[in-house]
Amino acid sequence: MANKLLESSAMSAFCESMALMLSAGIQTDEAVHMLSDNMGDTPFKRACDRVYVGLSKGEKLSVAMELSASFPSYAVDMIAVGERAGRLEEVLRALAVYYDEEDRLFVKIRSSIGHPAALLCVMTLLLAFTVVAILPVFSNVYRGFSGDLTAGTAGIVTASTIIGYVALAITVVLTLFALFAFFSTGSERGRERILGWLAHLPSTKDAMQQLALSRFTSAVAIYTASGVNTDEAMRAAMETVEHKRLHRKVERAYEAMIDPRSARSMAQAIADFGIFEPVYARMLLVGSRAGSMDAVLERLSDTFFEDAITQLDRAVDGIEPALAAFITVAIGATLISVMLPLVGIMGSIG
């Protein structure tokens, strides 16, 4: 059975605690052991114990984390970057901030979906009762008075039935989706799945690209700050990029850097292939000429991350009003499906 991934809050606590203990001079294996010491049987303790077993066998922290199957791939990849660059402590601190913000975001998503999801469940039951129990009553009345009712009344009854079934089908689909999203926010694998969906939604795809750009920029900054040449830094950072569109841009930029016919610098390649927006690309070019490219990259990584979080917050803020609007429309459809045949029948009898 696969191990459960640690939640974002636990990841933040793990990375922050590890960074503090490493800064105090505590060895990695001892730090992990101290994290799980005197702790009850929790997923966090079991994950730390598995990591400690790997460290005891001489594995690096990133390898031990990967073998434990309890940590997200992004955390494992970034810690591997920090180990290769000799900046593990800085990476752990950055990951602590990242997962703390991710946890806050998903708590907000959960609260935004929870109340509307409950109302959608009630709405589904109401529409189902209307379609299954109430509308057939009007059909029976129609059949009972078929000699007196006009063809227009029959059309009204048919239209009300169609409206009821369409509203019910849409409400059921949206309810199932809302419930699935609500419960998915409770697990790290579910959260990763939601992030994958967000990358394809028109309202959030730009934010997810900014988030991927922040990850890439952070990896490049770590490598360049450790003295790795820019070609190698670009190649290694490219391996951490999972966003397909961004990965294609980075790949083309890297090919231009190593092509002897063009021999572009990293800053120039990033600017030429549109990896950064023009204003940020110019900042990187200036930083490169001033010899402070790693500092500019770190600042840009923070900027991209903050921008992504702001955009995602804005999108999440629109979830509850959108669901509330749909519930209002569904209630209206329910009333119409009930009232239309009644009005038609009463009009024909009168």
Helix (H), strand (E) at residue 217 = helix 205-225
Chain centroid offset of residue 203 CA = 13
pLDDT score recorded for residue 185: 73
Q: Give pLDDT tens digits along the chain (350 positions).
A: 456 788 888 888 999 999 999 999 999 999 998 888 877 778 888 899 999 999 999 999 999 999 998 898 888 888 888 888 788 888 898 888 888 877 887 777 777 777 777 877 887 887 788 777 777 776 666 656 555 445 555 566 667 677 777 877 888 888 888 888 788 776 767 777 777 777 787 878 888 888 889 888 888 888 887 777 888 888 888 887 888 889 999 999 999 998 888 778 888 999 999 999 999 999 999 988 888 888 898 889 888 888 888 888 888 777 778 777 777 777 776 667 666 666 655 655 55
For the whole prediction, is pTM greater than 0.75? no
Residue 1, pLDDT score: 42
**3-state secondary structure labels for all residues of 220-254:** HHHHHHCCCCHHHHHHHHHCCCCCHHHHHHHHHHH
